[in-house]
Amino acid sequence: MTTLTPASEAELSEAVAAAAAVGQPLEIAGGGTRRGLGRPVQAEGTLSTSGIRGIRLYEPGALTLVVAAGTPLAEIEAALDAEGQRLPFEPMDHRALLGGTGEPTIGGAVACGASGPRRIQAGACRDAMIGVRFVNGRGEALSNGGRVMKNVTGYDLVKLMAGSYGTLGVLTEVGFKVLPRPERALTLVLEGLAEDRAVAALSAAVTAPFDVNGAAHLPARADAPARTLVRVEGLEAQAEYRAASLARLLAPFGEASRVDGDAHEALWRHVRDAERFAGREGAVWRLSMRPSDTPGAVGRIREATGADAFYDWAGGLVWLCLPETGDAGAAVIRAETARLGGHATLVRAAAATRAAVEVFEPEPAPLARISAGLRASFDPSGILNPGRMRA
Amino acid sequence: MEMPQPDARALAAKDDLVRRLTEALGPDGVISAPEELIAYECDALTAYRCPPMAVALPRTTEEVAETVRICASFGVPIVPRGAGTSLAGGSLPTADSVILGVARMNQALDVDYPNRVIRVQAGMTNLAVTGAVQGEGFFYAPDPSSQLACAIAGNIAMNSGGAHCLKYGVTTNNLMGVKMVTAEGEIVEVGGAHLDPAGYDLLGLICGSEGQLGIVTEATLRILASPEGARPVLMGFSSSEIAGACVADIIKSGVIPVAIEFMDRPCIHATEAHAKAGYPLDVEALLIVEVEGSDAEIETQLATIKAVAERHSPMVMRESTSEAESKAIWLGRKAAFGAMGQLGDYICLDGTVPVATLPEVLRRTAELAEQYGLEVANVFHAGDGNLHPLIIFNANAPGELEKAEALGADLLRLCVDVGGCLTGEHGVGVEKRDLMLHQYRAPDLEQQMAVKDVFDPGWMLNPAKVFPLSMSEGRRHAEH
Ligand SMILES: Cc1cc2nc3c(=O)[nH]c(=O)nc-3n(C[C@H](O)[C@H](O)[C@H](O)COP(=O)(O)OP(=O)(O)OC[C@H]3O[C@@H](n4cnc5c(N)ncnc54)[C@H](O)[C@@H]3O)c2cc1C
Ligand SMILES: Cc1cc2nc3c(=O)[nH]c(=O)nc-3n(C[C@H](O)[C@H](O)[C@H](O)COP(=O)(O)OP(=O)(O)OC[C@H]3O[C@@H](n4cnc5c(N)ncnc54)[C@H](O)[C@@H]3O)c2cc1C
């Protein structure tokens, strides 16, 4: 097991080209914290991006940030914070859930397309991305997009690179549109709602003109009642107005209490990082579906597997934790996504389970052909993270 | 502008092809009479015209698939078409092509308010989508100025933007799924009413691919609750530099306006002469900044913006306090393109530059315009640096079009040289095809063409666009 740590994009290109020449598979490593995501990679060598780091350009007045892919997320967040700005997509920190100890990098977050609760209003990781540089499986250093917010020059490979888990190229640089950090943020909490009522309440909140940017439901547990969360942000007066309007709108679902300050931060970290399942046994799944379909689907899955669940994205995202026996619930879960639309990803399970079960929702044949074609076109010798997404 | 030599075999197949298409689509689904083909010989880049061999106007996804299979069997390329409002020649035919128009597929299929999505046929116009949902208090956010005419199909292919994209994003940020016919005539669905892909982001790749990866027949779109209200403030400055600095400071202040529009002196004067909106004539640059929300929210946001602007010593600051005043402020901006039309023929460019370089770019633009002896007016979305320099020229004067195009190319190169790009929302089409190597290196474009190889191995869909012809030559002429 060798580890390569190139210090520049040029060195990284050479390393990939050399590996391609002899067909040596490489596992791409950022900070190691999301290494448990996807299928286990079948590789003897590791290619670390830790030597490729630093903020390349940050113009707060243009909401523009360009960073080297190996830059730790913490460094980026600190730089943004100093200017009262932030990444719009609220990337999840996988360390709690996966039990990792590394230092998450921006390249790792982008390669996993990690988008948090704000995704429903501010967009996904890919929506904030305005440019990439990457080295494909031939060792060619390529660029797409750039550093401006509006750019339709040629095909949008920026989106394609997001969430491709390092199977199309090794990211060396990523450009983002960033957003101002709001003056005020607070959350309304409704207690004791059943899941279908909760999703109806979340739907009412996000279909009102109050810019709700967090909408989650945490079903009851032995030690806590069910809580339905609606987050608003903005200038001080704006956030107040929005909260008051929403409290009136949601009155039919019960009386809302308010959470703000540190407790508010902690509450959304709990949702974002799936802390409910951290340190608990079991396989963890992430389902993306039409929001109004999820309470029914979860009910049936729970009946069959005893899963615990919670909801984000106004119901459109469901996190499940269930016993890791047999196929870890894959057949039951995928029966729902197949019938209702959407997809399910196995986020946490033992390596043996992740190698045996399709971690990512299988694609219909014509799309699977296109995906395989893209993989072959970017990485003809199949050396980048082989096996990570598909067997 | 160079277009590829028409393929003799394709031309020779015309009669058989039209017969087969007519069998499949019925006589009213196919146009082949020369006088009727004229209507399809160009898009909104009217300087370039070429009638296609035939036009197919299918009514269903199955008919689209059948059309694609028939054309493939004759080796005839297809140019997909929505409403033909492309400013880049995206839907310009070649002589050996069939235009596949989706204009007849213009129905809303399913509106789902609780989940904030609408499913439409791709030929529906952009404005009709908002029209279908506004009764319930919703709207579709991307709003190109051409929204009355342009189709969702064209919006997806070009990844179109609009005045409100600073807050709401462009088409790709509001597109959740498509039904698409592949180059082989297979029907596939990508995405849907759920968020994010199960594997590679194929939807993100399809959006903005200019009709080269498949024919989109249906789309699932995000709809949003309409804001409670919106109001602009108009500000005039003594220089473009100062206006540019003000834009940056507004953005830094933490307020994200829905729109920041910029007009320079030539544009203000032309517009005022035409629309009489009461714009100040003694300023060098004018900003229109709009915010949304309840009355109280609007007050708060405008107060912040005005305080920022005061630091830049505006010559004029006019805040709207009523619907009528808002209309008056927008009147000039909305009439700007029409006003330019009064001055002569114009080419509308679409480069994007980093916001910090705006003053420099505007200065270089004026210098280049003077060198060429042509007038250039600027009106653009300042918050995101998406410029629309309008080059005014006289199409009837010999050599003027070529001169205007040469100036246009210089201005777009300037955009790239300062760190921006060739096109922010109109697309490459044929117009910017041959400038692509100024922005990208050959291997960057090779990788993009390799993506087309995966979706369309025979290069049958809109083959003569986006990539320099010299680079795509081998692929377009390969034997399949
Ligand atoms: C010497 C060494 C020791 C390590 N020890 C441990 C350990 O003890 N425990 C542990 O869990 N891991 C360990 N790792 C693995 C490594 O730290 C992780 O794989 C990686 O660094 C995690 O970074 P991340 O958190 O940013 O996301 P990652 O987990 O690195 O990456 C997430 C996904 O994105 C891909 N990816 C990351 N960066 C890029 C990029 N720039 N371009 C394209 N794709 C990318 C990855 O291949 C992966 O599929 C070790 C690695 C090395 C080199
Ligand atoms: C006055 C005016 C103002 C404009 N303002 C704006 C603006 O503010 N913002 C902006 O972004 N643009 C603007 N445009 C440009 C233009 O309106 C957009 O590019 C629009 O999206 C084109 O849509 P269309 O339906 O007319 O497409 P067409 O012109 O018919 O086609 C455009 C491209 O889409 C492809 N295509 C069409 N249908 C399909 C399909 N079914 N499947 C796959 N590909 C397909 C075509 O092959 C072509 O490449 C403006 C144009 C005009 C004339």
Same domain, B196 and B169: yes
Instruction: Check whether A211 has a pLDDT greater than 70.
Output: yes
Beta-sheet pairing, B98-101 with B54-56: parallel
**Chain A residues whose beta carbon lies within 8 Å of the beta carbon of residue B201:** 113, 126, 159-160, 162-164
Same domain, B55 and B113: no
Same domain, A254 and A307: no
**pLDDT bracket for residue A141 (50, 70, 90):** very high
A384 belongs to a structural domain: no
Same domain, A36 and A23: yes
**Chain A residues whose beta carbon lies within 8 Å of the beta carbon of residue B475:** none
ipTM for the predicted complex: 0.96
A366 belongs to a structural domain: no
Across chain B, mean pLDDT equals: 94
Digit-coded pLDDT (tens) for A149-206: 999 999 999 999 999 999 999 999 999 999 999 999 999 999 999 999 999 999 999 9
Residues in chain A: 391
pLDDT at A329: 97
- Number of domains comprising chain B: 5
Q: Domain range holding B32?
A: 8-101
Relative to the CA of B157, which ligand 2 atom is closest?
Answer: 34
Cα B33–Cα B37–Cα B42 angle in degrees, nearest 5: 170
pLDDT at B4: 87
Same domain, A18 and A165: yes
B338 belongs to a structural domain: no
pLDDT at A1: 65
Beta-sheet pairing, A26-29 with A45-48: parallel
Same domain, A122 and A203: no
Query: What integer is the mean pLDDT of A211-230?
Result: 96
- Here the CATH number for the domain that contains residue A251 is 3.30.70.2190
**Best interface-test mutation with B: which of A149, A170, A181, A285 has the largest number of B CBs within 10 A?**
A149
- Here the CATH number for the domain that contains residue B180 is 3.30.465.10
B166 belongs to a structural domain: yes
pLDDT at B11: 93
* Share of chain B residues as helix, strand and coil, in percent rounded to the nearest 5: 40, 20, 40
Same domain, A51 and A168: yes
Closest residue by Cα to atom 13, ligand 1, is A32
| Strand, helix or coil for residue B263 | strand
Query: What integer is the mean pLDDT of A368-386?
Result: 97
DSSP per-residue letters across B318-347: EE--SHHHHHHHHHHHHHHHHHHHHH-EEE
**pLDDT bracket for residue B123 (50, 70, 90):** very high
B124 belongs to a structural domain: yes
Report CB contact under 8 Å: B198, A361: yes
- Here the CATH number for the domain that contains residue A317 is 3.30.70
Same domain, B45 and B76: yes
Rounded Cα gap, residues A88 and B417, in angstroms: 28
Instruction: Check whether B99 has a pLDDT greater than 90.
Output: yes
Same domain, A173 and A287: no
B424 belongs to a structural domain: no
Same domain, B221 and B317: no
B366 belongs to a structural domain: yes
Rounded Cα gap, residues A72 and A103, in angstroms: 6
Instruction: Check whether B100 has a pLDDT greater than 70.
Output: yes
Same domain, A262 and A335: no
Fill in the amino acid letter for B71: C
pLDDT at A36: 66
B405 belongs to a structural domain: yes
DSSP per-residue letters across B106-139: --EEEEETTTTEEEEETTSBHHHHHHHHGGGTEE
Question: What percent of chain A stands above pLDDT 90?
Answer: 89
* Helices vs strands, H then E, count in chain B: 18, 18
Same domain, B86 and B139: no
Digit-coded pLDDT (tens) for B379-394: 988 889 999 999 999 9
Same domain, B234 and B221: no
| Strand, helix or coil for residue B200 | coil
Instruction: Check whether A71 has a pLDDT greater than 70.
Output: yes
A61 interfaces chain B, CB cutoff of 8 Å: yes
A363 belongs to a structural domain: no
Q: Domain range holding A287?
A: 275-356
- Here the CATH number for the domain that contains residue A144 is 3.30.465.10
Query: What integer is the mean pLDDT of B281-305?
Result: 94
**Best interface-test mutation with B: which of A118, A155, A238 has the largest number of B CBs within 10 A?**
A155
- Here the CATH number for the domain that contains residue B86 is 3.30.43.10
Same domain, B201 and B120: yes
Report CB contact under 8 Å: A155, B172: no
Evaluate whether A319 touches A277 at the Cβ level (below 8 Å).
Answer: yes
Q: Which residue of chain A is at minimal alpha-carbon distance from B353?
A: A148
Query: What integer is the mean pLDDT of B76-87?
Result: 97
Digit-coded pLDDT (tens) for B390-441: 999 999 999 999 999 999 999 999 999 999 999 999 999 999 999 999 999 9
Rounded Cα gap, residues A29 and B176, in angstroms: 31
Give Cα separations from B399 to A55, A77, A383, B296, B396 (angstroms): 48, 54, 54, 56, 9
Instruction: Check whether B79 has a pLDDT greater than 80.
Output: yes
Same domain, A57 and A139: yes
A388 interfaces chain B, CB cutoff of 8 Å: no
B188 belongs to a structural domain: yes
pLDDT at B230: 94
Q: Which residue of chain A is at minimal alpha-carbon distance from B227?
A: A209
Instruction: Check whether A46 has a pLDDT greater than 80.
Output: yes
pLDDT at A171: 98
Same domain, A191 and A120: no
Same domain, B138 and B213: yes
Report CB contact under 8 Å: B385, A360: no
Residue B107: phi and psi, rounded to 5, are: -100, 150
Relative to the CA of A102, which ligand 1 atom is closest?
Answer: 17
Instruction: Check whether B480 has a pLDDT greater than 60.
Output: no
Digit-coded pLDDT (tens) for A278-316: 999 999 999 999 999 999 999 999 999 999 999 999 999
Q: Tokens at residue B250, please?
A: 């507004």
**Chain B residues whose beta carbon lies within 8 Å of the beta carbon of residue A154:** 428, 436, 439-440, 444-445, 448, 466
Name A274's Cβ contacts closer than 8 Å, sequence gap at least 6. Answer: A92, A96, A97, A284, A310, A319, A347
Same domain, A101 and A228: no
Name B230's Cβ contacts closer than 8 Å, sequence gap at least 6. Answer: B258, B290, B291, B292, B293, B298, B326
A209 belongs to a structural domain: yes
- Number of domains comprising chain A: 3
Q: Compute, in angstroms, the gap from residue A155 CA to the centroid of ligand 2.
A: 16
Instruction: Check whether A120 has a pLDDT greater than 90.
Output: yes
Same domain, B221 and B115: yes
Q: Which of A31-40, A106-115, B83-92, B378-387 has the lowest mean pLDDT?
A: A31-40
A372 belongs to a structural domain: no
pTM of the model: 0.95
Same domain, A243 and A348: no
Query: What integer is the mean pLDDT of B107-120?
Result: 98
B7: left (phi over 0), alpha (psi -120 to 50) or beta: beta
Same domain, B144 and B213: yes
Report CB contact under 8 Å: A164, B425: no
Query: What integer is the mean pLDDT of B299-326?
Result: 93
Same domain, B66 and B128: no
Ligand positioned closest to the Cα atom of B427: 2
A38 belongs to a structural domain: yes
A361 belongs to a structural domain: no
pLDDT at A74: 95
Q: Which residues line ligand 2 (CB under 6 A)?
A: B 43-44, 79-87, 90-91, 102, 122, 144-146, 150-151, 153-155, 157-158, 160-162, 210-211, 215-216, 337, 425-427, 462
Same domain, B44 and B91: yes
Evaluate whether B285 touches B237 at the Cβ level (below 8 Å).
Answer: yes
Same domain, A12 and A152: yes
**Chain A residues whose beta carbon lies within 8 Å of the beta carbon of residue B352:** 148-151
Q: Which residue of chain B is at minimal alpha-carbon distance from A111?
A: B200
pLDDT at B449: 98
Instruction: Check whether B256 has a pLDDT greater than 90.
Output: no
A367 belongs to a structural domain: no
